[in-house]
């Protein structure tokens, strides 16, 4: 329940910030174009706070935090006093109207840049993207690994962290090939060894984000430090807790077989749903035996597996693989601009691949997934939350630029037609377009919500 309220609170904060940024973009440009703004509202429904500013605008925070709006004086909506006609939105030039409408999405891009700038100034603890194995019969099987190697670039795009590798790979879904530039770990330690570029054949690449990351789906084995079989955490109400296992116990053997590695242990547990298994543990120098019955649980493939609810102790990452991803005041500008442009490009690519069928509609996420992401990122700390809302801000800006009549992009489409033809799109045509756009948007929202509930 605490996790639910934490995610909900983080979602409301993130959404409130992003909506404010978006609507402020419309508001700021509208004022500078001489348009009278009657109301600036964050949220819909009943107002829980309101104030009339010196500029005559009513500022409102409403009950339902799922959107917002800027109400401008407009003769198409209501009768406007003669003395205020020149301040009506519809009386402005087509280029002024284009500027006002496009200012919302642009504000989202600017906000993403600002959030990333602060994130890079603060700095984030990061791990270099190093692989130590490849999977047989996968696109990555062409890589011959003798020792762990760092991924330096994906199809020419420089990457420094696993997050950047992930983002770069997602942008190449549907491509026939992907090039990876690799460097041996010896190079990372200061030895002069040549980099190499390997081309992966991705024509048969099957990536399902519900089940795995693009990294593992390519067959790349992520390097991880060794695992100590000393129990680091025991889940509440788990099979392990019920059996009396506590933090600090060290796994010695399972069902009479000597412990060899954590994966082998997990395999035994997962294949023993609702079956008794015997575990020998070392506790404060004394060997004890416990019987555990792993609880049955469905994995993403729909297969029933056993879960005991314990986590091992993770060894420390090598010093040459850890680094602080941070920049100075000037370099942060460059880094934030570069990351913002990457997010914009990848987001546009993903929308395009959605229409071409390279990406399934099952990958659409709605408010529940966003809330979960907000809660998870906020729990990790401010820098992670800033990175998350930067990503959502870019996506919000791009979605609003889609040429659907109910969105900013739809209005812009009408205005650019007006620029070309020299006259406004007829009101009747606009009304039909709005109905079509609303129906399509509701359908997409329904699919996204369905996907959200399916993931719960």
CA distances from 229 to 211, 287, 311, 312, 315 (A): 26, 14, 9, 5, 10
Q: In this structure, what token pair is assigned to residue 404?
A: 């659907």
DSSP letter at 161 equals S
Q: In this structure, what token pair is assigned to residue 68?
A: 């917002």
CA distances from 371 to 5, 9, 378, 409 (A): 10, 8, 10, 25
State how far the Cα of 191 lies from the Cα of 248, in Å rounded to an integer: 40
Please pick, among 23, 58, 176, 204, the residue that the annotation labels catalytic: 23
State how far the Cα of 4 lies from the Cα of 23, in Å rounded to an integer: 28
212 catalytic, yes or no?
no
Residue with tokens 């990555």: 140
Handedness of CA 421, 427, 430, 432 (dihedral sign): negative
Let me know: does 270 contact 305? Beta carbons within 8 Å. Answer: yes
Q: Angle at the Cα of 66 (from 55 to 15), degrees rounded to 5?
A: 80
Q: In this structure, what token pair is assigned to residue 153?
A: 């670039």
State how far the Cα of 371 lies from the Cα of 79, in Å rounded to an integer: 41
In 3-state terms, the chain is what percent helix, strand and coil (to 5)? 45, 25, 30
Could you tell me whether strands 220-222 and 304-307 are parallel, antiparallel, or unpaired per DSSP bridges?
unpaired
Active site residues: 23
């Amino acid at each position: 329940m605490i996790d639910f309220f934490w995610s909900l609170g983080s979602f409301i904060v993130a959404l409130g910030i992003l909506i404010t940024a978006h609507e402020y973009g419309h508001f700021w440009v509208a004022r500078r174009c001489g348009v009278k703004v009657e109301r600036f509202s964050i949220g819909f429904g009943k107002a829980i706070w309101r104030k009339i500013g010196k500029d005559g605008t009513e500022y409102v925070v409403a009950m339902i935090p799922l959107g917002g709006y800027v109400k401008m004086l407009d003769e198409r909506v209501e009768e406007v006093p003669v003395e205020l006609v020149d301040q009506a939105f519809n009386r402005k030039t087509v280029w002024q109207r284009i500027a006002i409408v496009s200012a919302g999405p642009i504000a989202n891009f600017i906000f993403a840049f600002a959030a990333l700038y602060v994130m890079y100034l603060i700095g984030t603890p990061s791990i270099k993207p190093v692989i130590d194995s490849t999977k047989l019969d996968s696109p990555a099987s062409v890589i011959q690994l003798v020792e762990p190697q760092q991924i330096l670039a994906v199809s020419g795009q420089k990457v420094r962290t696993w997050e950047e590798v992930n983002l770069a790979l997602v942008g190449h879904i549907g491509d026939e090939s992907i090039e990876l530039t690799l460097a041996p770990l010896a190079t990372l330690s200061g030895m002069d060894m040549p980099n190499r570029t390997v081309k992966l054949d991705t024509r048969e690449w099957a990536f399902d984000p519900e089940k795995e990351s693009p990294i593992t789906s390519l067959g790349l084995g992520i390097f991880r430090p060794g695992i100590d079989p000393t129990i680091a955490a025991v889940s509440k109400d788990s099979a392990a807790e019920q059996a009396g296992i506590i933090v600090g116990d060290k796994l010695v053997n399972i069902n009479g077989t000597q412990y060899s590695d954590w994966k082998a242990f997990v395999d035994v547990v997962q294949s023993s749903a609702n079956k008794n298994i015997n575990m020998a543990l070392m506790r404060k120098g004394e060997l004890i035996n416990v019987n555990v019955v792993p609880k049955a649980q469905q994995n993403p493939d729909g297969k029933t597996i056993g879960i005991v609810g314990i986590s091992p102790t993770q060894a420390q990452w090598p010093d040459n693989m850890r680094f602080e991803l941070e920049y100075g005041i000037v370099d942060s500008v460059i880094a934030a601009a570069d990351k913002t442009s990457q997010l914009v490009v990848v987001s546009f690519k993903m929308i395009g691949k959605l229409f071409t069928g390279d990406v399934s509609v099952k990958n659409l996420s709605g408010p529940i997934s966003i809330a979960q992401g907000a809660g998870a990122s906020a729990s990790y700390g401010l820098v992670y939350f800033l990175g998350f809302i930067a990503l959502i801000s870019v996506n919000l800006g791009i979605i609003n630029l889609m040429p659907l009549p109910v969105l900013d992009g739809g209005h812009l489409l009408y205005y650019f037609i007006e620029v070309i033809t020299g006259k406004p799109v007829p009101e009747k045509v606009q009304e039909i377009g709005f109905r079509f756009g609303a129906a399509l948007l509701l359908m997409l929202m329904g699919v996204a919500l369905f996907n959200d509930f399916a993931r719960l």
